[in-house]
Amino acid sequence: MPARLLFDVTGLVAWYAFYRTPTGIQRVIERILLAPAIADDDRVIHVAGFPGLGDLVVIDRNAIHGLGDPRTKAASIRHLRRAYVEMMKKARLLESLRTLEPFAWRYFALTRLGLKLLQDAEHWPPPDSGYAPPVPLARADGRDAFVNLGDFWWYTRQSQALGRFKAQHGFKLVQMIHDLFPLGQSAWEPPLFKKKFIRQFAGLVPLTSSRSARSSRAKTTSPWRAPSNGCGSGMGPCLRSACSPASRAGVTGR
């Protein structure tokens, strides 16, 4: 059984840094993280990375749990935006510029230059005495499991970053894939996105210790096979206490 369950919230932090309303993938991830089997497990730690940071950082669990309650969601988003700004300030400049997606360049540049007056106030929340800043993830004995719930892994150089973090911490990598549509022959994906997706997928597969797939293409695409379990192909059954997302992904009980 793993010592800690490191749930990757890099995508959630990055999403809420720019937007206030979740899309389907954010809703799925939040439902999993807020399921009692995970939310009440003391071994669960929410971690995030940022291009140019040398290590993973721990995100306050209350900020993640607060996303599920309309009364605390706005405060949680402000908390995550503060964390995003802090990570940008600490990241190595050249590596960040080489890795960040174009939509983040303006946000990053204004933050690093300290041009707060030119920044959208929503993206630079005011000070809060209750804010718990992200802290570096402490080293462990190599028995941790790192779980990515299917978002953000295809962004530029993400598989390389995961490889470095895995080497640093010695954790097992459990990866969920929701779909592999860019591996198909449909013509609507931009060619550059398709190349990036395939490059990151090829780098990710060798790193994984356990894999979970939802789409029919993912389930039939070698070397990605959906594990045989009693959860079914949808996410809903996996939120039941009898078949938690963690156990479905092969994280607990092994």
Question: How confident is the model over 60-119, as pLDDT tens digits?
Answer: 999 999 999 999 999 999 999 989 888 888 888 878 777 877 777 777 777 777 666 656
Check residue 40 and give its pLDDT: 93
- Domain presence at residue 113: yes
Residue 235 confidence class, pLDDT cut points 50, 70, 90: very low
- Domain presence at residue 254: no
| DSSP H helices in 19-142 | 24-34, 36-39, 61-65, 73-90, 93-99, 105-113
The span from the CA of 119 to the CA of 110, in Å, is: 7
Structural domain for 94, as ranges: 5-248
- Domain presence at residue 218: yes
Q: Tell me the C-alpha to C-alpha distance, in Å, between residue 83 and each of 12, 58, 79, 127, 215.
A: 12, 10, 6, 12, 33
48 contact partners, CB below 8 Å, separation of at least 6: 8, 9, 10, 12, 13, 56, 57, 59, 83, 87, 134
Check residue 180 and give its pLDDT: 72
Judge if the upstream peptide bond of residue 223 is cis by omega within 30 degrees of 0. yes
Check residue 158 and give its pLDDT: 84
Check residue 240 and give its pLDDT: 31
- Domain presence at residue 41: yes
Q: What are phi and psi of 20, to 5 degrees?
A: -110, -20
The CA angle 142-235-215, to the nearest 5 degrees, is: 90
Residue from 179, 234, 35 nearest 7 by CA: 35
- Domain presence at residue 124: yes
- Domain presence at residue 211: yes
Check residue 193 and give its pLDDT: 78
> Which residue has better confidence, 48 or 110?
48
Question: How confident is the model over 123-181, as pLDDT tens digits?
Answer: 666 667 778 889 999 887 788 999 998 887 878 788 888 888 999 899 999 888 777 77
Check residue 126 and give its pLDDT: 64
Count the domains in the chain: 1
Q: To the nearest whole number, what is the mean pLDDT of the chain?
A: 76
Full-model pTM: 0.76
Check residue 245 and give its pLDDT: 39
- Domain presence at residue 47: yes
- Domain presence at residue 253: no
Question: How confident is the model over 173-226, as pLDDT tens digits?
Answer: 988 877 777 776 666 667 777 888 888 888 888 888 765 555 544 444 444 443
